[in-house]
Amino acid sequence: MSPPVRKKKKYQKIPVKGVFIAVLMILSIGAIIYYLKGQLSKQPNSFKKNEYLVRGVDLSHHNPIINWSELRGHGVSFVYMKATGGVSHKDRNYAYNYEAVKKSGLKAGTYHFYLFAASGKEQARHFINIAKCESGDMFPAIDVEHSQHNLYSKDTVYIKRVVDELKVLENELYEYYGCHPLIYTNKECYNLYVKDNFPSNYIWMCDLREEPSYVKDWVIWQFSHKGQLEGVDGNVDLNYFRYAHNELYKFLIP
């Protein structure tokens, strides 16, 4: 009896064009990631000598304890500190940071991290209960940005709710403090939620690549997350105030 003949397996041919497109996509994604990492690594680590002489930093519990007297040597005039987020989060270092900034003679500012689409009224109540904003402090600020808690969505109903609740939060703070809060944001979130919706609010813009000249009413520009300053152990966010020092009073709580 003859041994059985083993049938040859049929292999499906993969189109050369398909392989080429797949490789091209992988290379493109790699190039984009490489480019973005390069852009982030190019962030300035200090203030430029003759650019915007009124300067500030912003902090949260992620930052270590700071030597405030050394920080003032860099021409820093104001410090924004995170106090709250959403309807329940409290920054564990806020109370300490606030008192330290006040004792140092620097202008103190306090901000709230906005939780997308959550009750604006409840978030305002939470901020007002925790924040130590006083007359003479910088305007309070609302942080509007995507995060693990604030996911991006193209859903128009969701976007409208994000804007509507942000308007409630903004108005509650305006009624309580007698000034419109600054809105901190970046280019993407500015275009999605802020632009044309908050004409009375000055903008605190985060842009790590260029001056935000595309925003008419920007007043503070956060230009780096990688500041390396004496008196600060680790990285700190760096900011420029757009106007001269004698105009800073226009952005202080009455």
Domain extents in the chain: 14-43, 46-251
pLDDT digits (tens, 9 = 90+) for 154-189: 999 999 999 999 999 999 999 999 999 999 999 999
Predicted pLDDT of residue 40? 47
**CA-to-CA distance for 233 and 248, rounded, in angstroms?**
28
Of the candidates 152, 143, 157, the residue with the CA atom closest to the CA atom of residue 203: 143
What percent of the chain is modeled with pLDDT above 90? Answer: 71
- 46-251: CATH number: 3.20.20.80
**CA-to-CA distance for 235 and 30, rounded, in angstroms?**
27
Predicted pLDDT of residue 31? 42
pLDDT digits (tens, 9 = 90+) for 78-121: 999 999 999 999 999 999 999 999 999 999 999 999 999 999 99
Quickly list DSSP for 98-154: HHHHHHHTPEEEEEEE--TTS-HHHHHHHHHHH----TTSBPPEEE----SSS----
Q: What would the mean pLDDT of 227-245 be, rounded to a whole number? A: 92
Better-scored residue on pLDDT, 174 or 45: 174
**CA-to-CA distance for 105 and 121, rounded, in angstroms?**
32
